[in-house]
Each structure stands twice: as structure tokens, then as C-alpha cells.
Amino acid sequence: MNKSAMLKLDVESYTVAAQEVLESLETGPEGLRDEEASRRLQEYGSNRLPAPRRRSATMRFLVQFHNILIYILLITAIITAILGHWVDSGVIAAVVIINAVIGFFQEGKAERALDAIQGMLSPQCMVVRNGRRRVMAAEALVPGDVVFLQSGDKVPADLRLFSVKELRIDEALLTGESAPVGKTGEPVSSGAPLGERFGMAYSGTLVTSGQGSGVVTATGANTELGRINAMLAEVQLLTTPLLRQMEVFGRWLSFTIVVIAGLTMIFGILVRELSLAETFLAAVGMAVAAIPEGLPAILTITLAIGVQRMARRNAIIRRLPAVETLGSVTTICSDKTGTLTRNEMTVATVALSERMIEVTGVGYDPHGALCDGDQSFTGEDEPDLLELARAALLCNDAELEEKAGQWTINGDPTEGALVVLAAKVGLEETRQRREFPRTDTIPFESEHRFMATLHHDHAGHGFIYVKGAPERLLGMCARQRHEGDDVPINIEHWHQQVEALAQRGQRVLAIAFGTARPEQKTVDFHHVETGLTLLGLVGIIDPPREEAVRSVALCQSAGIRVKMITGDHAATARAIGAQLGIGDGRASMTGPELDGLADEVLLERAQAVDVFARTSPENKLRLVKALQQAGHIVAMTGDGVNDAPALKRADVGVAMGQKGTEVSKEAAEIVLADDNFSSIVEAVKEGRTIHDNLKKSILFILPTNGGQAGAIIAAIVFGFVLPITAVQILWVNMVTAVTLALSLAFEPPEENVMERPPRDPREPLLSPFLIWRITFVSLILVAGTVGMFQWELHRDVPLESARVAAVNTLVMGQIFYLFSVRHLTSPSYTPSGLAGNPIAVIAVGVIVLLQLLFTYAPPMEHFFGTAPIDGQAWIRILGVGMVIFVVVEFEKFVLRQNERSASSRGTLPSQSSR
């Protein structure tokens, strides 16, 4: 036996008989001898996942500074230090360091996800060695060891089961489906989805009931859990659209500033014949004016405000840039159970011999109606339904309970759905169990696929109730209940009913009845194998969340495609998808079908199909990659370990906070506190709002810098004294960034925020429209600032007062422009445009106070070279600000007219440019 043979066996062991696996591994039910186990431990290594290779903490920290915008900030800090402005230099440096610290901690996210997977392994297990059971460390397990499992155990390695007794295992962390899987030990066909490999128990899963024994077929990195761990380690994190755009913007901005500063120096020396020192200081002043040192802080603060808003909507952000990325999402790949559905099994249909009854109400709330078409009735109106509901209630181990106004189930969710059905029909649980006490039980086992209970009423009559898989019970029934009588069973009719319920995506259970002698105290298999009376069928479904239906429709109106990727059966997935408005109710693909597709075919199918069932971790990861390759920005939801690779790869990974594993939460950028799809949609809306507000902030900040730099360039070109000094430029940048620009982060959503299509992720941060607006407003601010400066000089006021007037003109122009920029093209002279953002009004009050201190406070004269100005100057300053507002509003009016004209001609420009 060699290692390659072992790996091949691990892939195919579920397809062959357990005895064949034992023989291949040269072992038996008595387990390995200690000597052989030691030898195999040397060969295969310990049963633990390999530790990933990681960068040192120092290198992770230094990498955070490798960004063009950070370089610009560092240069700015150095320049301001050279100019002697240590406070400003320290503030800029602090911004750089804070950003680096945040990035340092966020980069550890993937490493924590890997650590969380390590914690999924069982520390101890019950092993058979030398023919005797013993408790030992799971790390010492080797292929060929025999492991004994019982309720509450965590499976320590991948096992091929050879002995089971009522064994049920929760495999949600690998399959995503919350219902425990009954194990049989029987082989299944090659290529069966992991959730249908009934003869296997996988490392990290949890035994919920029963007992079993299995032989270890894979340990450590060779297990299913190890394979996912390897996938997670290999998945490359993608940078967000915003960060990609900021990187391009930073390169463009730095190049532009350097070129303009160089041209300014050359022009000053060659044309104006200024000294090198004078032109250098002017160029430095221009560079300081042009660099938006407040932009990174505004970016971070805007995202942080978005994080707080999303937290109120049950979306917890773990990685700051993910806030904005949500606004770019074009496709949401969602899990089904608990996210799009309630994760509360509900009886939706009851099929009797002569009618199909619809049951209203969802979840475990025992209130609902019974309907047949337009007819509504009670259980007393339909004796056959009443008897079926009683059988479903009594052949049942679940209990319905109300806690703090919430209805919950103690026991199996499917059995809980039957208890709720009985309550809707009108049966009181406690009374029924008291009147018809249980005498004996045949518990449900995967091998026989039914449960039977023996009951006696207080008159001594005995009867048996049976529930189970219809394909099993139909063979056990000779008669059927029909309008109170027992008549010969019509097998063909019931097969048609089973098919009809399955087409609705419902899980079908059959309910049957048998008689027992008064003295009978036990129920055995021979009592129920033949001669039963079929009472009917129930169709059970995990119903869609009502809010999820609305949210899917909202996504589609917003141009976002919603895809369901689930571990459930294809028929169920299609039916739920149709109810949610996902897909057409017919088209779907399964994991095994995806496995056989070439990458180029998968690229086409991933975009065309919206419902994917029985998917594996590889399927989910391939689907995400294919959608990204096609240019989509993908949000992926998940809750299990099997979802972690796709969550990490997606542009936005969204984990479930309530039922999600720690691995999925660590791999994701966002955690939903309520596991609700509608929270994702609200987060997308918030993400779009954040991007709009960032765009408005940039559209506000850059003209400010353009106006300052333009004023200095104009002074050099036209040969007059600088209208504003470098230190005064820093003052304007500092006060406007932390007041006016920051107020834009609090802007409410635009009215059409979820009616427009997602923005193209390839769209540059500055579209042609934004470049025009920045240039246009910059020129207006330059004209107003320089014009005011020259006007004051012609009044023979001191140079210092003329500069203070220029500074106040620049700031006042920004105040008036702030209200215009709140709406990019719609008018801002409405009540909502002027007062719709209370934070902006407060910011204006703060900036006015600061400018009065700047102008008249004696200490400012020392620090900034200021001097008082008179009332006439203030009137002219307010007039310039009003002119700027009117001019920008007129420009917006012209744009709206052009847009209407283009719309009437059918040539409406893309909204993405707006």
C-alpha cells in the first residue's frame, strides 16, 4: 500500500462496500495494532491541517505604505515640515499611520479564517486499537484506524462507515444544509454530491444522534476539510473597485501636480525672470494647494459612517472598503436556507384521496387557514384531514413552544412542521397526547425510512401510526382512506400526487394508519410491513421570507442579478427560486453538471443560469471566478466552511451571523446579524449612497484645491504678488476638509438610488462630466479669489488684508458651492437642497465662526499673517459667493436641458457619467 493509492481510495471509498475499503486499508473492525499505527503515522503525518506560510508582521505593516496616494501624503508632510508647519505635518503623518494600522489589522483577516478552520478539528476521539476501544488524541489518527462515533461527537477524520444505528450527522459546515443527514453505510454512485454520500462521515461534522463505526480513509490535509483549507489558503483577495480607482486617481493626480509645478517654475524663471528661490517656493505653494491631503481622511470617515449606518441595518462590516464595494455589486450569489428562506419547515400542502388542501401561514406560528381553491374550511369539516393531522402529531417527537411571543420547535424541524399542521387543523397537542398515550415506538432509521408508534385510547383500542418516505410507505399500504371509509389503494394516483408535490419543491411525507389488538404492548416491523391504510401525503417546504421576495424584486429593478447557489435538491431549488422571482422555475444546474464543464462553457452558463443546486465548495468558487471574469462585481453569501473559499474570493463576502461558522465569518467582509437577504439589499443601497457621497466629496474638495493652485499659477503668469500664502492654503484645506467636505458624508440617499443600474466597475473615479465640473468650478473660484484680491489692492488696503479677503472669498465660494454639489445635476435651490442635510448647515455655521477667528483673532495674525477687513469687503465676499452659486446652478440647468433634448432624440447619455 502506498500514499497515492490511499489518495485514490479517499476519492472513491463512498462508491464501494465498506468491507472492500477495510480490506484495501489492511484493517478490520478490531482496528490497527499499535506498531502498525505508529508506522503509518510516520508515513502520513499527524491528523492536523498544515499551517500556512505567512509574511512577518513587520512586512505586513510596511506594505501598507506602498500606495501612490500615501506617497503623496508623505511628500506633503515633508514639504509642510520644511515650511515649518509642524502641526500640519504631524496631522498628515498621523493620517498615514492610522491608515496603515487599519490595513495591517484587516490583512490578518485571511489568516484568522485559516486559524478558525484549524479549530474545527476534534481534539479527542474513541478509537479501536488492538481490538479494544480507547480515547486518544485525534492528531494521532492514521488511515486504517477504526473510530467509534456517538451523539455529540465531532467526527475526527474522514471515515467510511461500516456499522450504523440511527446515526445522523449535521454536515451543514460542508454542505450548507441545516437538516442532519441519516447515514446508512451503503455505497452510492460515483460523483454523488457530498450531502448524498450516506456511507461517509467527514472530519469536523457533528453527530446529532445515534451511533456508528467507521474506518479512517483520510487525515489532515487529505480530508474534505483539509481540501477546503488548501483552497482557502490559495484564494487571492481582490482589491475593491474604489481602491483600484483611487490608485489610478493617485497616479494621475501626482503626475499632474508634478508637471504643473515644473511648468510653473520654468515659466517663472524664463518669462518672469524670477529667482530660483522665489519660483521654487511658489511651486511648493502650488503643490501644497493642489494636493488634497484631506481626501484620505474624508474617504476613511465616509466609509466609517457607512459602517455605522449598516450596523443599524444588521450588516456588520469587517473590512472598511467593502462598504463602498457593495454599491458596485452587479450580481448577488445567495445561499437558500435561512437567507432567502425562513429556515423553518412548514407544511404547505396536504394531499387526501379526493382533494389537495393548501395550508396557509409560514414558520412555526400555529395560525393559518385550510383552503381548497376558493373554499376555506376547518379540521372539523374534513374528518380525513383531522385523522391525518392526529397521526402526524402523535407519530412525532417534536414539541411546539412559545417563548417571549416567538414560536419555536424542540426537536426535528420536519417533525415540528407536522406539529404546527395539527395545531392549524385544530388539535391541541397536550390533550391529544393525553387521550392517545404512546405505548411503543419504532424510531426513524435511514435503513427503513419510516417511524411507527403504537397508541391506546382510554377505552383500550389499539392503533399504529406510521410516517415516512412515500416510496417506502406506499409499498406497506393495502388500502387508503376515502371520505371516512377504507378502500383499496390506488397506487398510480398517489404516485402522481407525489410527483405533483415534488414539482412544487416540497419534501413529501406519507402518513398511514394500522390497527392493533387491545393487549398489544409492542410494535415490531412485522406489524407494519403490510396491511396499512394510507391517510394521505403532506408537502413540506422551507418557505421564502416575504421580505426576501420584495428584496429580490428591488435588486432586479436596480440592475442586480440574484443567483441562488444551494446544497439542496434541484427541484426544491427551482421551486423556491420561482417563488422568489429567481430564474424561470425550469432552468437550473447541479454541482455534478458544473464539474463536467470546461471553463469557457462555464463562463457562459454562470451568466445564463440563476439557480444552482447540490453545489460543492469547488463549484461555488468556480462560479464566483467565472462571474468576475465576465466583469461582474460579485457579492457571495454563505454560512459554512464549504462557503469560505468563495466568500474570500468574492468582491464582497457576506457571512451569516446567527447560523454561520466562525470560518465563514472570518473569510467574509460583512456579517449579517439577522441572516436575512433583505439586509444585503439594504447594505447595497447604503453602499451606493456612500459612493455617491464620496463622489460629491471629491467633487467638492478638488475644485477647492484647483482654485488655490490656480490662484498661485495666475499670480506667476500675470506677474503679481501671491494672493494667498502657503500657510493660508493649509488653513483653508484643514478647516474645509474637516467641516464642509465631511458634512457630505451624511448626505441621505438619492431618490433613484435603487432604480439605476450598477455603475460600471471599469468606470474611472473621475468621469468626463466630473472633470468638466471640477475644472469649471475651479476657474470660477480662481476668478473670484484673484478678482477680490486685486479689488482690495486697488482700494489701497494692506497686502495682509487683501489676502484675508481673498481667503474668505475662497471659503465663501466653497460654502455656496457646497449646497450646489449636494445634487450633481438636479437643482439645489429647493428647500431640501438647502436644508435637507442638517449636518451641512451646522458645518457652515462652524466654518463661518472659524473664518471670523481667522480674520480678527490676534493670535492668527502671528501664525497666518492676517489682518482685519471691513464690512464693505464682507458684502463683496458674500456677493461673489452668491454669483458662484448662481453660475453653477445655471450650468446644471443647461445640462438638464441637454439631457432632455438627448432623451427626446433617443440618445440619452449614460447615467454612470453623472
Question: How open is the CA angle 877-880-884, to the nearest 5 degrees?
Answer: 140
Cβ atoms of 413 and 344 within 8 Å: the answer is yes
- The neighbour count for residue 432, using CB atoms within 10 Å, is 16
DSSP string, 600-661: HHHHHHHHH--EEES--HHHHHHHHHHHHHTT--EEEEE-SGGGHHHHHHSSEEEEETTT--
Q: Return all residues near 258 (Cβ < 8 A) that are at least 6 apart.
A: none
Q: And the C-alpha cell for 278?
A: 522665489
Query: 830-839 long-range CB contacts below 8 Å, 24 or more apart?
Result: 836/748, 837/743, 837/744, 837/746, 837/747, 837/748, 839/743, 839/746
Strand pairing category for 462-468 and 477-482: unpaired
Distance, CA of 627 to CA of 404 (rounded, Å): 44
Strand, helix or coil for residue 511: strand
Distance, CA of 640 to CA of 635 (rounded, Å): 16
Look at the alpha carbons of 707, 710, 714, 716 in this order and tell me if their dihedral is positive or negative: positive
Q: Return all residues near 790 (Cβ < 8 A) that are at least 6 apart.
A: 720, 723
Q: What distances in angstroms separate CA 558 from CA 174, 757, 771, one per listed residue?
A: 33, 5, 26
DSSP string, 461-484: -EEEEEEE-HHHHGGGEEEEEETT
Q: And the C-alpha cell for 821?
A: 454639489
Strand, helix or coil for residue 517: coil
First-to-last alpha carbon distance for the chain, in angstroms, is 67
Residue that is written with C-alpha cell 490676534 in the block: 858
Residue that is written with C-alpha cell 400542502 in the block: 349
Cβ atoms of 693 and 302 within 8 Å: the answer is yes
Q: Give the phi and the psi of residue 429 in degrees, each rounded to 5.
A: -55, -55
Task: Determine whether 335 is an active site residue.
Answer: yes
Catalytic residue among 335, 643, 675, 692: 335
Amino acid at 589: M
Any idea which residues carry the catalytic annotation?
A: 335
